[in-house]
Structures are given as structure tokens and as C-alpha cells.
């Protein structure tokens, strides 16, 4: 059968590539045409557009590139029409994908959505479009199932979180090998994960680095984002003695004693490695005020959202300061708190449904197509 897959970001490329591998096990004749990246290309099929051509971040950048965005949408529709797939699979990326889904449904294509848009956080009115335009939705967070089915009467498939597969598939590394590979010290590691975008890193890293001097018995290591050069981090590190590890975040987390983490997917990844963490976030004052009006959630970290209670401490906006960060870091370095977090992290993994998200999704997609 023929599958047209649209992934518009690096994370989508990763999750879509694993889904493609899983589909090939269910459908050995599968033919792929896709918008994505290098990981999807490595699996096989035809790359139509790379996600790097689609990455417009922020309101102003989107407005400035509206002509390109609309041109891409028109091209995508034409390309799908010529390919005539048995199924279109959307991977997150809602701004683009929901527009294609609306058109695809009217054209009679089967629409499958893997990794739901976060409409439970904002733009909940998108539920109308989803109910109208999406045949099958595959969600990766346990509370999304009740959100869709109980609140909005729209049946979905909870398949588990693909991060569990990523972590399960990685090769283990021991402490000695890791510190030797990166020329580090023989001290327990506190990882700093300041985010991936320049503006975000600039706001987060200087505060994170301000606590370093108070913990001479530990070494602080920054997880460098693939999108940023080493020189950018060095402007913050200067003579602090803090080291940078580029493109090796999972191995860093696997060897870390504790972590200071900017809100985002990294908070969940850190928890899945069972590393005690403090979640940090600070944006511009205006952005924060707007977000407070739009986003109606009790927590900002996926860990707390999934557990529906405060498992990890969140330091947001004005609370994210040197004094509070040191207080919370001291707490997670104490054995009693660490043991409490380990128990919570095990419950978190259970809630996420175990490994096999890609395999479950592939099986459901192929089965539904064979039944049509």
C-alpha cells in the first residue's frame, strides 16, 4: 500500500522514521512518499521536502513567510493528488497538517494523525476540525485519551510514548567511558539542559550557571543542542569550569546525578532516565502574560501533567532566580527526596504504557486499511 507522511520538525522526522520501520514489518510492500528529514530518508521512499525548509518559528517569521507557506500547502495537495496514497499520516505539526487534513478528507483520502496537536493546552476549538477531518487519531499521552473521549466524545487510540522506545533502543554506556569520551572529571554530574533555541538558552543558562560555585563536589555539564554552535555556549561558560557536551544528551542524562531542565520534552526525557530534576522556565514578560491568558494548565512540565500532581518542582518566570534554584537543587540532592522521585518516575513509566508506540500505531493503521 501507499503511504504519504507529513512531518515538519526534527522530532517528527524521528518518530515518523520509527513508524515507517514498523509499517514495513506489517506491510512489506509499503511505498512511502513524505515530507520529513534524513532519518525518514534512511528508511526508504521519496523525500518531497525537508523539514528544514518548513521551520518558521514565531509570529513575525510566520507572517513574513506566508507566501512560502501557502505555496507549500498548494504544492502538497497537488503532490498527494498525483501520488494517490491509501493513507495520509500526519505527524504533529498542526498548523500545516490540519489544513491538509481538511482538504484530504473532502478528496476522500484516509487520514491518520499520529501524535496529537496539544489542543488540551490551547486552541481547544481545533477539536471541531479534528472530528471532521481525521479518521483515526493516535495519542501518546494517557490524559489525551480521556480528553478526547470523555470531554469531546471522539474515540482515539492511546499507543504509548515513542520516547520510551528511543530510550529502550539506545546502547548503554558506563561512567568511565562517558567521562573519557568527553574529557570530563571523575565527579558526579549535574546536567544543565537550557533548551534548543538561542533566545531560550540566553534566558535560562546564565541563571543555571549562577549556582555552580556552590557545589564544588559536582561537575556541571551543559547538554548542547544540535542546532547551536559551541561558540555560542562558550560566551556563557567563560571561566566557570563548566563543560559542554554536544549531541550526546541521552548518554549525559544516563550518567547524571541531577539536572536543571528547561520546560519542554526534555523534562520527560530526564524523568525517563530517572534523574532528579528542577524544571525551569522564563520568557519575556509580555509572552508570559499572553501565555497565561491562552494556556489553562495547572503545570508546564509533561511529568506533572501526566501524573496530574507536582512530582518535579517548576520554577516559572520570577520564581526562576538564583536563590530559589539553589534551594530546589539542594532538595533533589538529598537522598530522601531522590528516593521519593524514583518511586514517582516508576509510576510515570507505567502511566505511559510501556514500549512499542510505533509498532502499535503501525499495526492499527495497516489493519484499518486492510479492513476498508
pLDDT at residue 288, as a whole number: 59
Residue span of the structural domain in which 20 resides? 2-160+356-371
Which long-range CB contacts under 8 A does 36-39 form with residues at least 24 apart? 36/5, 36/6, 36/7, 36/12, 36/91, 37/7, 37/10, 37/13, 38/13, 39/13, 39/14
Q: Mind listing the pLDDT tens digit for each residue in 299-316?
A: 889 999 999 999 999 999
Band of pLDDT at residue 365, cut at 50, 70 and 90: very high
Q: Is the domain of 246 the same as that of 221?
A: yes
- How many other CB atoms are found less than 10 A from the CB of residue 53? 11
Query: Are 72 and 189 found together in one domain?
Result: no
pLDDT at position 31 over 90: yes
Whether 185 and 229 map to the same domain: the answer is: yes
| β-strand partners of 158 | 139
Q: Does the pLDDT at position 64 exceed 70?
A: no
Neighbours of 194 (CB within 10 A): 27
Percent of the chain with pLDDT over 70: 93
Task: Tell me the residue length of the chain.
Answer: 372
* Shared domain check, 191 and 92: no
Task: Please check whether residues 362 and 323 belong to one and the same domain.
Answer: no
Q: Are residues 212 and 267 in the same domain?
A: yes
Nearest Cα residue to 305 out of 121, 81, 96, 138: 121
Q: pTM for the full model?
A: 0.86
Q: State pLDDT tens for residues 205-255.
A: 999 999 999 999 999 999 998 778 899 999 999 888 899 999 899 999 999
Asked whether 34 and 58 are in contact (CB, 8 A), the reply is no
Residue 260 has pLDDT above 90, yes or no: yes
Number of compact structural domains in the chain: 2
Note whether 151 and 224 are same-domain residues. no
The region of weakest confidence among 90-94, 179-183, 290-294 is 290-294
Query: Is residue 213 domain-shared with residue 276, that is, in the same domain?
Result: yes
C-alpha–C-alpha distance, residues 281 and 42, integer Å: 35
The per-residue pLDDT for 286 is: 62
Q: 196 and 340, same structural domain? A: yes
pLDDT category of residue 26 using cuts at 50, 70 and 90: very high
Say whether pLDDT at 61 is over 70: no
In sequence order, the 6+-apart residues with CB closer than 8 A to the CB of 205 are 192, 194, 222, 233, 236
Distance CA 259, CA 267 (A): 9
Q: Say whether pLDDT at 148 is over 60.
A: yes
CATH number for 51: 3.40.50.2000
- CA-based max dimension of the chain: 64
What is the share, in percent, of the chain residues with pLDDT greater than 90? Answer: 74
- Do 131 and 146 lie in one domain? The reply is yes
The answer on 173 and 135 residing in a single domain is no
Q: Higher model confidence: residue 80 or residue 68?
A: 80
Lowest mean pLDDT, pick from 198-202, 251-255, 271-275, 326-330: 198-202
Both 174 and 118 in one domain: the answer is: no
Amino acid at each position: 500500500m501507499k503511504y504519504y507522511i507529513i512531518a515538519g520538525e526534527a522530532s517528527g522526522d524521528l518518530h515518523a522514521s520509527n513508524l515507517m520501520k514498523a509499517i514495513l514489518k506489517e506491510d512489506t510492500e509499503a511505498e512511502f512518499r513524505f515530507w520529513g528529514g534524513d532519518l525518514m530518508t534512511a528508511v526508504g521512499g521519496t523525500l518531497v521536502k525537508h523539514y528544514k525548509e518548513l521551520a518558521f518559528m514565531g509570529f513575525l517569521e510566520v507572517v513574513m513567510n506566508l507566501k512560502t507557506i501557502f505555496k507549500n500547502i498548494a504544492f502538497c495537495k497537488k503532490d498527494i493528488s498525483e501520488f494517490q496514497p491509501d493513507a495520509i499520516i500526519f505527524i504533529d505539526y498542526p498548523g500545516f497538517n490540519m489544513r491538509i487534513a481538511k482538504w484530504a478528507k473532502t478528496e476522500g483520502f484516509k487520514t491518520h494523525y499520529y501524535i496529537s496537536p496539544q489542543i488540551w493546552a490551547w486552541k481547544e476549538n481545533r477539536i471541531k476540525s479534528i472530528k471532521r477531518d481525521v479518521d483515526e487519531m493516535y495519542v501518546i499521552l494517557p490524559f489525551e485519551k480521556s480528553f478526547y473521549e470523555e470531554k469531546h466524545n471522539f474515540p482515539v487510540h492511546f499507543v504509548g510514548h515513542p520516547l520510551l522506545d528511543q530510550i529502550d533502543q539506545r546502547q548503554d554506556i558506563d561512567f568511565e567511558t562517558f567521562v573519557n569520551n568527553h574529557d570530563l572529571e571523575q565527579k558526579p554530574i549535574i546536567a544543565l539542559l537550557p533548551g534548543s533555541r538561542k533566545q531560550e538558552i540566553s534566558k535560562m543558562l546564565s541563571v543555571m550557571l549562577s549556582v555552580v560555585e556552590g557545589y564544588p563536589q559536582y561537575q556541571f555539564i551543559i547538554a548542547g543542542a544540535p542546532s547551536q554552535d559551541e561558540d555560542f555556549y562558550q560566551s556563557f561558560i567563560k571561566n566557570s569550569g563548566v563543560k559542554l557536551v554536544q549531541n550526546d544528551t541521552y548518554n549525559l542524562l544516563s550518567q547524571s546525578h541531577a539536572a536543571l531542565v528547561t520546560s519542554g520534552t526534555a523534562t520527560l526525557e530526564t524523568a525517563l532516565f530517572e534523574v532528579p530534576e528542577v524544571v525551569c522556565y522564563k520568557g519575556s514578560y509580555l509572552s508570559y502574560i499572553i501565555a497565561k491568558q491562552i494556556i489553562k494548565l495547572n503545570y508546564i512540565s509533561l511529568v506533572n501533567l501526566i501524573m496530574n500532581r507536582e512530582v518535579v518542582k517548576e520554577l516559572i518566570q520570577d520564581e526562576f532566580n538564583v536563590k530559589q534554584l539553589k534551594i530546589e537543587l539542594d532538595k533533589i540532592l538529598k537522598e530522601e527526596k531522590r528516593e521519593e522521585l524514583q518511586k514517582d518516575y516508576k509510576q510515570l513509566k507505567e502511566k505511559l504504557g510501556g514500549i512499542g508506540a510505533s509498532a502499535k500505531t503501525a499495526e492499527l493503521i495497516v489493519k484499518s486499511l486492510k479492513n476498508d
